[in-house]
Amino acid sequence: MKVNSVVQHDWHYATDAIGSSVQTKSQLINDDHIWIQFSRVPRLNAKSNSWVELIYDLPNKSLAAVATIALEYKSSTGLVVKLSQQDYGGLGDKSYAHYQHKLAPADNWTTRCFTLDDFSRPSWTPVESIDVGMILEHINAIYLVPDLTDEHGGTATISVKSLTLLP
């Protein structure tokens, strides 16, 4: 299964409501790739976390039948790939401690292939968030998140040329 991953309607971005921001060129996808710059503000307090994310909505709203993800990207910081699973999000325990895998910064176009076995829940997962495992039918999106800290925030640029889902 190969997914045409730079189709405008499959991609969008989101930021918190406390001051983080985003900049794109004339639109999110230009010249066959995505270019986006995030500015994340530092966390305000324990209840007001800042966040920024580039979101790929899975066309089938599921990762069923997928075993490997290939990503061609550039990123000025480490890049955290998160699997948005309803059990851990707003429809679940609201911990947002999704399974994730971290990629290294890349100044030039870089392709990385990784399997779903490479993903794990973050070290900051709350103890009350019960790990129900990775349920592929409950994953409806892939989030690409610059590795910026809660404490300091920061700026990061991400470019994506392709994201391919493989059996």
Residue 2 resides in a domain: no
- Pairing outcome for strands 154-166 and 33-40: antiparallel
Q: Could you report the per-residue pLDDT of 116-134, keeping only the tens digit for each?
A: 999 999 999 999 999 999 9
- Mapping DSSP to helix (H, G, I), strand (E, B) and coil, where does residue 52 land? strand
Instruction: Give pTM, 2 decimals.
Output: 0.94
**Which stretches of the chain score pLDDT less than 70?**
1-5
Residue 1 resides in a domain: no
Report how far apart, in Å, the C-alpha atoms of 104 and of each of 78, 91, 101 are. Answer: 5, 31, 10
**Structural domain that includes position 128:** 8-166
- Mapping DSSP to helix (H, G, I), strand (E, B) and coil, where does residue 8 land? helix
Beta partners for 166? Answer: 68
Residue 14 resides in a domain: yes
Number of compact structural domains in the chain: 1
Q: Could you report the per-residue pLDDT of 90-104, keeping only the tens digit for each?
A: 999 989 999 999 999
